[in-house]
Amino acid sequence: MQTTEENIKSGLNNTGVFLESIIFRSLHGHSMIKATREEPYSGFTSEGFEGTIDVFAVIRVQTDTLIVLCIECKKADPNQKHWVFDRRSTETNESFPFEYLEATANKINYDKNIFFPSLGYEGKMYFDQAIETFEFNEVSGSLSRNQIERPYFALLKANEAISSFIDEKKERIFELMEISNGSRTNLLFIPLVVTTANLSVAEYKENDISRQNGTIPIDKINLIPKQWIHYEFPLPYKLVTRYNREKVGLAKRPSFIVNSESFPDFIDLLIADCGRYILPEE
């Protein structure tokens, strides 16, 4: 029988605190990054919201450009470690744009063509455009009862924090980076969820779907493993940014879900892409 102290230690392993700690540590030691843990955020639009984000990180990728990351860490239940994503790959609409605050115009530039070739996104047509997540049992493959809640609420927290730092707490970014005058600094905002879950995309042809019962023969479904997923998170009205006062912001915000083992590679490739490809003015 375990002692009380051993039970407490086992209980700590069931939380996400150690995942949060190692994600923070991997950023904190990077020469281009400033990071904090349990950073508070708040905002008020149609209704108030507040909380803390697990890891808040700001990356200097160019002299006048920063990436702002709000990272929620999600340790998957050991028995529910498969997150499977459905995409809107058959829709004709382009991917929703990233929120890039252009310093010279002092507004969000929704027309900025931002893509990440090293991450596998060489243009708008290459983004995953995931729109739904399903969580499955590790052993049996059965659908989790709370299969939507865990991924959704992790994404919600990351996006709450991003909305706060765009509309309410932009000065905190400059404070962290020790920038006295942030009016000349461009900002790219990206919400992230880092999880121990295995990630995959469901690929199928709509012609194989039965109209009678809404199913597909299982041999017609392919599960494609992914290290990270581009996800279009549907923003509740309270999180739609109002930075551009003449125009309401996005209905969906590009976000990323990253497997924890792939997180260091994701960050290195993100930094490389932002430095070389996308953010210099055309």
| Least confident interval from 7-11, 75-79, 121-125 | 75-79
Q: Which residue has the higher pLDDT, 148 or 121?
A: 121
Q: Residue 177: what are its φ and ψ, rounded to 5°?
A: -90, 0
User: What pLDDT sits at residue 141?
Assistant: 60
For CA atoms 12, 17, 23, 25, the dihedral sign is negative
pLDDT level of residue 242 (50, 70, 90 thresholds) = confident
pTM: predicted TM-score of the whole model, two decimal places: 0.91
**pLDDT at residue 15 is higher than 90:** no
E-assigned strands of the chain?
A: 33-44, 48-62, 65-74, 82-87, 99-102, 107-108, 130-136, 186-195, 198-203, 222-226, 228-234, 252-259
Find where tokens 């991917």 sit: 95
Find where tokens 């507040």 sit: 50
pLDDT level of residue 104 (50, 70, 90 thresholds) = confident
User: What pLDDT sits at residue 199?
Assistant: 96
Asked whether 155 and 72 are in contact (CB, 8 A), the reply is yes
- With vertex at residue 201, the alpha carbon angle to CA 200 and CA 203, rounded to the nearest 5 degrees, is 140
